[in-house]
Amino acid sequence: MSEERPIVDCHTHLMWYPDHVGEQYAQEALASKLIKMKYSGGEAYSAQLDLHSYDAKPEAHWKVSEPAAKVVVFGLQAKAVGVWVPNEVIADYVRQHPEKLEGWASVDPNEPDCIEQLEHCVKELGLKGLKLGPVYQHFDPQDRKHWPLFKKCQDLGLPIMWHQGTTFPSRARLNWGLPLQLEDIAMDFPDLKMIVAHLGHPWEEDLVVLIRKCPNVYTDISAVHYRPWRYWQAMVTAMEYGVAHKILLASDFPSATITNVINGLRNVNKLVEGTHLPQISVEIQDRIIYENWKDFFPQWA
């Protein structure tokens, strides 16, 4: 890492099979990873290609975090798809490397005491944001019964990382995964900072128009370089609508490493080289890698 140009990875996970991830999830994750490896030319994290392909233990996470100055790390609590990472696992790891790591919580909005759980994560465990994934957790992000949770996040200054896009588990509920379903939350809680992961794939166009009009909603480029054609189109769309400055660098480790994602971004124009089709400039690429995080995380700038 160059000293003058620090980078931030705003989306990484800790979780491993079988402690936090059920067998069906691990099987389906492996099948999905093999396809990503094929179309990305191997630019996915591939410590193992078995039920442990999505394992992210602290040692592995720490090793691949080397290029980043700051790394946001969280688990996921989603009984519906067989994933449950205790927030204590995140807090324990962050305590070992407080200069680099920032831990965020995950609570399941279906749990009646989810707000108390979140307060515990903030006050007792020192976690500083919230990870939500309606497709994994089986909740409707437009249901007003969840508004108190979002209000709590806004009051406590906790940003939310949303998985609002498609995913692989057969038990996921895609009809709660559309980026535009976050519009009412963004409008009712204008001070709530949110990141919608993965450019909202494969609803990148909806994601782009959402973040264009919602000042505090951003996105990240994790887990999208595996599909080079979609990725290039999504990036052109973001550029043409003027939202490239709201794209944050992220790996979604163990899906990929930050190095994989930077390589993917540097290769974004490869498919269209030698044509008249639009290209993503090196300047935009550099801003995504080195600059855009400063708006979302001014405390680290």
Give residues in contact with Zn ion (CB under 5 A).
252
- Closest distance of CB 26 from Zn ion, Å: 16
Separation CA 27–CA 133 (nearest Å): 20
Tell me the residue nearest to Zn ion as measured from the CB.
252
- Closest distance of CB 282 from Zn ion, Å: 27
- Closest distance of CB 158 from Zn ion, Å: 17
Side chain identity, residue 159: P
User: Checking phi first, is residue 212 left (phi over 0); if not, alpha (psi -120 to 50) or beta?
Assistant: alpha
Helices (H) and strands (E) in the chain, counts: 12, 11
- Closest distance of CB 77 from Zn ion, Å: 13
Interhelix angle for 114-123 vs 87-96, to 10°?
Answer: 10
Query: Of 133 and 228, which has the nearer Cβ to Zn ion?
Result: 133
Query: Of 28 and 252, which has the nearer Cβ to Zn ion?
Result: 252
What residue ranges in the chain does DSSP mark as E strands? 8-13, 70-74, 77-78, 83-84, 101-103, 105-106, 130-132, 160-162, 194-196, 217-220, 247-248
Query: Of 9 and 252, which has the nearer Cβ to Zn ion?
Result: 252
Separation CA 193–CA 186 (nearest Å): 8
Query: Of 29 and 192, which has the nearer Cβ to Zn ion?
Result: 29
Query: Of 204 and 252, which has the nearer Cβ to Zn ion?
Result: 252
Query: Of 206 and 252, which has the nearer Cβ to Zn ion?
Result: 252
Cis amide bond preceding 254, omega within 30: yes
Among residues 200, 197, 199, 204, the alpha carbon closest in space to that of 74 is found at: 197
Residues in the chain: 301
Query: Of 81 and 280, which has the nearer Cβ to Zn ion?
Result: 81
- Closest distance of CB 3 from Zn ion, Å: 29
* Residues 150 and 3 sit within 8 Å (Cβ to Cβ): no
- Closest distance of CB 197 from Zn ion, Å: 6
- Closest distance of CB 162 from Zn ion, Å: 10
Question: Token digits for 150?
Answer: 């979002």
Q: In what order do the strands lie in the sheet with 160-162?
A: 105-106, 130-132, 160-162, 194-196, 217-220, 247-248
Among residues 147, 141, 221, the alpha carbon closest in space to that of 182 is found at: 141
- Closest distance of CB 258 from Zn ion, Å: 14
Query: Of 183 and 252, which has the nearer Cβ to Zn ion?
Result: 252
